[in-house]
Amino acid sequence: MKMGHKKPAVLKKIQRGLAVIIGGFITAYGLEAVLIPNGVSDGGVTGLSIVGSELVGLPLGLLIAVLNIPFIYLGYKQIGKSFAIYSVLGIASLAFGTAVMHSIPTIIEGDTLLVTVVGGIIIGFGMGLALRNGGALDGFDMLAVLLSRKLPFGTSDLILFLNTFVFIVVSTVFGLQGAILSGIAYFIASKVIHIVEEGLSGAKSFKIITRHPEIMVETIRNRLGRGATYNLVEGGYSNEQYKEITCVINRLEESKLKEIIQKIDPSAFIMVYDVAEVQGGNFKKHDIH
């Protein structure tokens, strides 16, 4: 019986890993076949890598891999080991993909509107696919998550703020028009990420009714560093009393929390809500070990 439970879990991890790798290759294709040949950049660490590649002449893939190393460590400390592993897979695929696809034909040339829209959609789909399966293709996402815990700003605000500096740097290489087009492409990509991954920034609220509430809360605290609250609720049909758990997490932690719930009580009743803003309380968390 144990083997039967382990096999699907391992298979699921392999499927998620493959999805993250595919996301990396899709993003690489969007960069090499659409954006970069038309003098348009991406945001985040990838954007800085593109600028560095143009200035220094080093391969783009090498810069993407090297510049993301500190952010991967940050992801490991703040979000968890599995997130870091999936992110290594995704970033390695993105770096390798840009090297392999460097000389592929450009699919759109000259039409700035088409370049920004098509390029933004392709890279947004790739990044969203990776995030949906538990990995990131860009270290800025992890940095923004960390800073949002230390500063009174939301994750999306910080991603926008950090990328303002990236596009100022981009303007030194691609000019003001190139920087503006890069900003538009990145904005489109962020919207596609939101659709594919159901939102990167902000928080989610989980309401959980389980037969093992104490173990569940203790595991959430130990594994995610998140606190939780109880509400006493009564079943409308059975009149039984239950402890309903409420826990607010960052969206990047959603897949990890679902894993925890599945492991402790596969029949637990879960409701998930989008949270527009979180203020006060003890939302800051400890490192995940």
pLDDT tens digits, residue range 214-242?
999 999 999 888 889 999 888 888 788 88
pLDDT tens digits, residue range 172-216?
989 999 999 999 999 999 888 877 866 555 678 999 999 899 999
- 69 belongs to a structural domain: yes
Q: Which residues contact 149 (CB under 8 A, 6 or more apart)?
A: 283, 284, 285
Measured CA distances, 188 to 116, 133, 289 (Å): 8, 21, 35
Total domains in the chain come to: 2
65 and 90 together in one domain: yes
Given this model, what pLDDT does residue 274 score?
Answer: 80
Task: State which of 158, 178, 197 marks the end of a domain.
Answer: 197
122 and 57 together in one domain: yes
- 117 belongs to a structural domain: yes
Given this model, what pLDDT does residue 283 score?
Answer: 61
50 and 148 together in one domain: yes
Task: State which of 177, 197, 217 marks the end of a domain.
Answer: 197
Does the pLDDT of residue 280 top 80, yes or no?
no
Binned at pLDDT 50, 70 and 90, residue 289 comes out as very low
Given this model, what pLDDT does residue 90 score?
Answer: 95
pLDDT tens digits, residue range 134-165?
888 999 877 877 787 778 776 667 877 889 89
Lowest mean pLDDT, pick from 2-11, 52-61, 110-119: 2-11
31 and 119 together in one domain: yes
49 and 185 together in one domain: yes
- 282 belongs to a structural domain: no
135 and 17 together in one domain: yes
189 and 103 together in one domain: yes
203's enclosing H/E stretch is strand 203-209
192 and 207 together in one domain: no
- 280 belongs to a structural domain: no
- 284 belongs to a structural domain: no
**What is the CATH classification number for the domain harbouring 244?**
3.30.70.120
159 and 212 together in one domain: no
166 and 130 together in one domain: yes
Binned at pLDDT 50, 70 and 90, residue 251 comes out as confident
Q: Which residues contact 221 (CB under 8 A, 6 or more apart)?
A: 227, 228
pLDDT tens digits, residue range 92-133?
999 999 999 988 999 998 888 899 999 999 999 999 899 888
144 and 263 together in one domain: no
Q: Residue 91 has what DSSP assignment? A: H
- 286 belongs to a structural domain: no
- 288 belongs to a structural domain: no
Given this model, what pLDDT does residue 1 score?
Answer: 44
Smallest Cα–Cα separation from 32: which of 52, 55, 50?
50
Task: State which of 197, 228, 244 marks the end of a domain.
Answer: 197
Measured CA distances, 23 to 17, 42, 83, 115, 190 (Å): 10, 15, 15, 20, 14
268 and 138 together in one domain: no
Identify the domain containing residue 243 by its residue range: 203-275
Inter-residue contact 128 to 136 (CB < 8 Å) = no
Does the pLDDT of residue 35 top 50, yes or no?
yes
- 143 belongs to a structural domain: yes
Q: State how far the Cα of 143 lies from the Cα of 55, in Å rounded to an integer.
A: 25
Given this model, what pLDDT does residue 235 score?
Answer: 81
Given this model, what pLDDT does residue 284 score?
Answer: 58
